[in-house]
Structure 1
Amino acid sequence: MSIHPARRARLTRLVAGSAVVALTLAACSTGSDDGTADGGTPDEPVELTFQSWVPNIDQAVDAFNDSHDHIQVTLETITAGPDGGYATMLSAVQAGNPADVVQLGYDAIPDFLVSDALEDITDHVADAEATFVPWQWQTGVFGDRVYAVPQASGPLGQFYREDIFDSLGIDYPETWEEYYEAAQVIRDSDPDRYITAFAFNQAPWLIGLAQQGGAGWFTAEDDAWTVSIDGEETISVAEFWQRLIDEDLVKVEADFSNEWNADLQNGNIVTWISGSWADAILRGTAPETAGQWAVGPVPQWSAGENVSATWAGGSASAVLKGSEHPAAAAEFALWLNSDPQSVDILTNVGAGWPAVADTSQVASLQDDPEVFDFYGGQDIWEVFAESDAAVDTSWEWPPLSSTLFASLTDNVKEAVDTGTPLVDAYRQTQTDMVAALEGRGISVN
């Protein structure tokens, strides 16, 4: 599902309306293109720099270099975007020495546009639109110009210890009420065991839960943003998790911490709601638990529904403003995210659910013994294919998503540290975001 053209036009005006910088959305890429990728010759290939935080993505870069004589790419591994990578990218643009291609979350693309940090790559990639899932392609399109090539989404699923569920006689929770009941049984079974961790440190996780609950935090309408972080759907989700916290049914701890890793390994954390890419993390973190895990859909708020969400939308490849080789950079970005060999590698290393519309050529999605054996022979990709198809694609990311992530994380952490209600954290985030947008000269209803 793609955003209606009129709605996207409004979104374009809103992103471009920042008082900090005026975007020239219809501008064409700078840099030369004489038919040999920005002036490269067979004897002197164009040399590009690619920045990414995805583990083992060097395998895809190597595959590109092996198959392309006229372009060669050097990978620079950086900190994950919200944790400092984006700041590094933007500083390099301002200093005039940017990387050519960078990994960007879908949520961050409006931020980079507001900062005038992206090259218009329409002339180089627009013909490939039909290759990708429409809503993912549209995350990089503003007006009629293309600024990013989608890589993968992060549809949510629930990883769970099937052996523990079976030993306790727990049926898979299809609704959140059944999830609550399962949490009680699991908590009673062992003084150290919880159904999951409440990851107060993960804004993308918190946002995904709200999205799956039917919330829409940002809407572009009438040339202004409507901000609804403290809407009814979000408050209901917050109250549900408050109930779990108050009754000591979830462990309040930061995910990806040493304690959390140990809890996954020893069975003290029994489930993990996360994106499809989390498979690679789980297998790497708890290899000795192979055969004990399974994957199911996210519980529903009403029985019989099929509503899913994503972990921060997904990721794309974009060309930074100031690249000396935008045509070659766009060629690499397109190949990286559409070539069957590359997409297969990206899926294997945990980049997420492919953005390509036709996944039948992605070998690892058809048969992956290493992955399937870890989950007791289950084809977990069937779960994520259904989840990806059930994502509410009307969700819109605003400018200043980095501010949103920081504000939400800080406010939720303060709530759990002080014992104040979670709903207050979301209401404070609402206030923070309205102030931040208005402070940047962006209209808010």
Structure 2
Amino acid sequence: MLVSPRSRRWLAAAAVMTTAVSLAACSSDDSSSEGPVELTFQSWVPNIDQVVDAFNEAHDDVHVTLETVTAGPDGGYATMQSAVQAGNAADVAQIGYDAIPDFLINDALEDITEYVEDDADLFTEWQWQTGVFGGSVYSIPQASGPLGQFYRADVFEELGIEYPETWDEFYEAAKTVRESGAYIAAFAFNQAPWMIGLAQQGGAQWFTPDNDAWTVDINGADTLKVAEFWQKLVDEDLVKVEADMSSEWNSDIQSGKVLTWISGSWADAILRGTAPDLAGSWAVGPVPQWNAGENVSATWGGGSASAVLKGSKHPKEAAEFAVWMNSNPASVNLLTEVGAGWPAIDDISEITALEDSEVFDFYGGQNIWDVFAESDKAVDTSWTWPPLSSTLFADLVDNVKASVDGGKPLVDAYNKTQEDMIAALEERGISVN
């Protein structure tokens, strides 16, 4: 099994946390009773019951019951961790890649290495590594959200704009678009994963495990480069400051007042649902590069994994369900159809959902998945999610919104988030360089 250096460093950093992680814990596998092993699976993905039903139809010895939970730290995550503490947790839970460290420092995940260590080659390396810490496996990757830029190809053509391959070209295109009365994009101050993805794509590395502590660099040069670029767009009224996926944003997408959306691969379904009357007008391209000729990408919030919660009576069967759900071609095809995200498996040749003519028709006949396949390969694999990611998301949104509302520089928001995160980590007893 591949073990990255960052995994070993993460374990060293984790050792200083006041809430210790039990790296070798394993619940007893009580599978001696008659009848199939009963598992509970918690997820927020709409229509994922289709995947559960497919598993149950294909297996006589294990039966899975789906329990729908609310996404996010204040919804499903809080419910999951409370149940672990109470000793009545579900067996398998969907959690974001960014949340895995949070669950680890709360000793809420089972070490499933012995059940899945031979399955690493089924998945793309960077997604597999999101669940590997200190040489032990704690989750199975499900799907990611590699970034791409959805754009109004018809309007770009009308305005004589060639697709911006660099951020400098994006800026020039933004000026042309604004002269027409529209905006090239929204500045989505409400979306921490979007802002983090832009920083990651710009070369930033916010959290680095270093021996027995974390190095925090939220306001480093690469991040501030990105912040200053978007500050220029805001100051010159070249982007519209509004929350994406809000009613106002939906209206602007439908009316052509906002012409692009940098988001994860899963955003395709949202865009088609928001602007069905604009079928044939949209296309997808890679995220603009900071240096011409480069190919650097990132993700919108990382992705999602299936983890076995601490206390499961059937960790072996739970791990096997997680692997089947996220690697069996028929299952992955269903996950892709319901909008779970970009598949985590290495071989996508049998995923027919990526050949949906309805999707291609909406984008003027373009196979948009070619763009996201390349984007997924270009994701910076060195990015490390930190403990307390929910705190990071909340602080970043609050600080950026305060800067926007108060007319203060975005740089101030990143400086403040740096201070806030160091304080939050230290408050939990986590060492910071």
TM range (shorter): over 0.9
1:439 aligns with 2:427: yes
Aligned to 1:32: 29
Aligned to 2:72: 81
1:235 aligns with 2:204: no
Superposed CA offset, 1:19-77 (max 9, x none)? 1x2112022x21325xxxx3454xx3222222212222222122112212222222222
* Structure 2 alignment gaps of length 5 or more: none
Q: For 2:205 and 2:2, how far apart are their aligned partners in 1?
A: 16
1:362 aligns with 2:360: no
Calculate percent identity across the aligned residue pairs.
71
Q: For 2:2 and 2:287, how far apart are their aligned partners in 1?
A: 23
1:85 CA drift (Å): 2.2
Q: For 2:89 and 2:275, how far apart are their aligned partners in 1?
A: 37
Of residues 375, 389, 399, the one that matches 1:387 is 375
1:54 aligns with 2:40: no
1:227 CA drift (Å): 0.6
Indicate conservation of the 8 Å contact 1:3/1:135, yes or no.
Answer: no
Q: For 1:148 and 1:238, how far apart are their aligned partners in 2?
A: 33
1:162 CA drift (Å): 0.8
Aligned to 1:263: 252
Of residues 408, 423, 426, the one that matches 1:420 is 408
1:90 CA drift (Å): 1.3
Change (3 A) 1:73 1:81: same
Aligned to 1:399: 387
Secondary structure class of the residue paired with 1:312:
strand
Indicate conservation of the 8 Å contact 2:89/2:311, yes or no.
Answer: yes
Indicate conservation of the 8 Å contact 2:42/2:90, yes or no.
Answer: yes
1:174 aligns with 2:173: no
Aligned to 1:336: 325
Indicate conservation of the 8 Å contact 1:275/1:311, yes or no.
Answer: yes
Superposition TM-score, scaled by structure 1 size: 0.94
Indicate conservation of the 8 Å contact 1:156/1:308, yes or no.
Answer: yes
Secondary structure class of the residue paired with 1:371:
helix
Aligned to 2:396: 408
Q: For 1:299 and 1:181, how far apart are their aligned partners in 2?
A: 12
* Structure 1 alignment gaps of length 5 or more: none
Q: For 1:228 and 1:26, how far apart are their aligned partners in 2?
A: 31
Q: For 2:238 and 2:74, how far apart are their aligned partners in 1?
A: 29
Moved more, 401-410 or 317-326: 317-326
- 1:137 maps to a residue whose letter is W
Superposed CA offset, 1:213-249 (max 9, x none)? 1111111112211111000010010001011111111
1:156 aligns with 2:147: yes
Q: For 1:369 and 1:54, how far apart are their aligned partners in 2?
A: 23
Indicate conservation of the 8 Å contact 1:16/1:114, yes or no.
Answer: no
1:281 CA drift (Å): 1.4
1:206 aligns with 2:195: yes
Superposed CA offset, 1:303-343 (max 9, x none)? 11111111121110001112232222212111110000011
Q: Over the residues paired in the alignment, what is the CA RMSD in angstroms?
A: 1.6
Q: For 2:314 and 2:418, how far apart are their aligned partners in 1?
A: 41
Indicate conservation of the 8 Å contact 1:198/1:253, yes or no.
Answer: yes
1:99 CA drift (Å): 1.9
Superposition TM-score, scaled by structure 2 size: 0.96
Superposed CA offset, 1:129-157 (max 9, x none)? 11111121111111222110011121100
1:11 aligns with 2:10: yes
Secondary structure class of the residue paired with 2:379:
coil
- 1:58 maps to a residue whose letter is D
Secondary structure class of the residue paired with 2:283:
strand
Secondary structure class of the residue paired with 2:234:
helix
- 2:7 maps to a residue whose letter is R
Indicate conservation of the 8 Å contact 2:189/2:397, yes or no.
Answer: yes
Q: For 2:74 and 2:202, how far apart are their aligned partners in 1?
A: 26
Change (3 A) 1:40 1:135: farther
Q: For 1:380 and 1:226, how far apart are their aligned partners in 2?
A: 37
1:3 CA drift (Å): 6.0
Matched pairs, number:
433
Aligned to 2:242: 253
Indicate conservation of the 8 Å contact 1:49/1:100, yes or no.
Answer: yes
Matches within 5 A, 1:75-114: 75-82=66-73, 84-114=75-105
Indicate conservation of the 8 Å contact 1:160/1:295, yes or no.
Answer: yes
1:199 CA drift (Å): 0.8
Q: For 2:246 and 2:68, how far apart are their aligned partners in 1?
A: 21
